Structure 1
């Protein structure tokens, strides 16, 4: 493996760094973007139980806010529920924007790596072909076999390495975007239920994005 990396030339260094970044981001986001932790299923039922038993106070709101991202959104709405439907909706949207920003953390970087990794491989390919043609010119048209093989090898290795990093990066980028969309829909539905329960005179259209 080390011999292959060396044969790929110095362009392998940024490609390897990209691969390390893809692995680190994938592990971190997979652990973080856990729907059960972000939007617990029974959280709204628990909140409604607090409301019915008149147990909502500053301590409960603080506990709710720290429990999960969905709890943070619901706590923002509850804190301003007495000010009316629109104020409550705006509070939920503001809190949701912050939560969604955190959910999307590093995901954009995966997309960037998926885009630039093939270009890095292509650049390595160009450098490898330059070596090939330089060897041919220096040898008067015939070229040194070892030099030609080294240049071609560098060109192929960097291309393969760039694609090998870009393909998983693109797959996980799309996977995490779909997961975030699913989580956002769930949080939106839970927020709408809370607003409707507290202001049941008219349905409120709460949009998180």
Structure 2
């Protein structure tokens, strides 16, 4: 603990903004991880409830379930079932599901991109702190006794490098969390697309959906 406190104190004033950037990034990462985990659990629960209703063609009940559910997959399937009541064309139902998916994805990706930006900011703050520290060090050494210049310069450079080190210490976990959350988001989106395809295939098998041609209309 003493080593950490000394390292922080020797880094200078730039250690504080880097700490703030790291704290903001960790807060965003924790909130997104909790949100994505909840979305994954609610998706599984909602689809387990909707799947038997699809098999029995209980569309009214499906609409009720999707309207009362907070699961992202409910918006996708609900959009398709609602469109089924207006148009039985497969393309129309598929487009409605894609629209529901496009409305849901931004909520899953929200704020995740900030982690990459915060990682870059922490790195740049560390470099800026080092440069300013070196400028101050050389200015101080210029007026120092010649016999002490080498010792003072080495000590000043060591202190200035602390901000670069701390900037990298903050940036690396933020980049790892950014990659982790992007992977988790992609898995949820892929599962929603697969659930939408299963839903559409079930509707095709149960309702014999397909494009209405002019010949069939006649």
TM-score scaled by length of structure 2: 0.80
Structure 2 distance, partners of 1:147, 1:48, is 72
Q: Does 1:114 align with 2:127?
A: no
SS in 2 for 1:39: helix
SS in 1 for 2:59: coil
Give the count of matched residue pairs: 202
The equivalent of 1:61 in structure 2 is 63
Distance 1:121 1:192, change over 3 A: same
Q: Deviation per CA, 1:158-193, whole angstroms, max 9, x where unpaired?
A: 011100011001111111111111111111111011
Q: Does 1:133 align with 2:138?
A: yes
Distance 1:144 1:79, change over 3 A: same
Structure 1 distance, partners of 2:81, 2:74, is 10
Structure 2 distance, partners of 1:45, 1:198, is 16
Residues 46-195 of structure 1 correspond to what in structure 2 (within 5 A)?
Answer: 46-53=49-56, 55-57=58-60, 60-65=62-67, 66-82=69-85, 83=87, 84-139=89-144, 148=153, 151-195=156-200
Name the structure where helix makes up a greater proportion of residues: 2
Aligned residues of 1:117 and 1:162 also touching (Cα < 8 A): yes
**Per-residue deviation at 1:33?**
1.2
The equivalent of 1:207 in structure 2 is none
CA radius of gyration, larger in: 2
Aligned residues of 1:136 and 1:144 also touching (Cα < 8 A): yes
Aligned residues of 1:44 and 1:194 also touching (Cα < 8 A): no
**Cα root mean square deviation, aligned:** 2.7
Gaps of 5+ in 1: 205-209
